[in-house]
Amino acid sequence: MNLWLTAATVLLAGLLLCGFVLLRGRPLEALVALELGSTVVTIVLLLLAEGFHRSSYFTLPLVLAGLSFVGTLAFMRFLGERWL
């Protein structure tokens, strides 16, 4: 297990903290936790790609960075008026 994989494993602890707020907070706070959680997952995938030395794995964080933006905007748009 090299440095990058160790860092990815440590960073997964941050995902637990985001998950706690996501489950226990109000809807708007859960949306903020979702934003940070998707950022954490993106960095974890970046670290894993570097840790495994596979160039093709770098596509995953690149795609997730764009899709998480679209997904959170969709949550905000469709849940915004009533739930947030």
Partner 1 sequence: MIAAVLVSLGVAAELVCCMGLIAMPTALDRLHYAAAGTTVGPALVAAAVCVDEGVFTSNGLNALAVALMLAFLGGALASATGRVARRKERGRGS
CA 43, 18, 7, 70: dihedral to nearest 10 degrees? Answer: -10
Between residues 1 and 46, which has the closer beta carbon with respect to partner 1?
Answer: 46
- Residues at the contact surface with partner 1, assessed by CB under 8 A: 3-4, 7, 10-11, 13-15, 17-18, 20-21, 25-26, 28-29, 31-33, 35-36, 39-40, 42-43, 46-47, 49-50, 55, 58-59, 61-62, 65-66, 69, 72-73, 76, 80, 84
Give the position of tokens 């469709």: 78
Between residues 1 and 49, which has the closer beta carbon with respect to partner 1?
Answer: 49
- In 1-84, where does DSSP find H-type helix? 3-24, 27-52, 59-79
Give the position of tokens 């297990």: 1
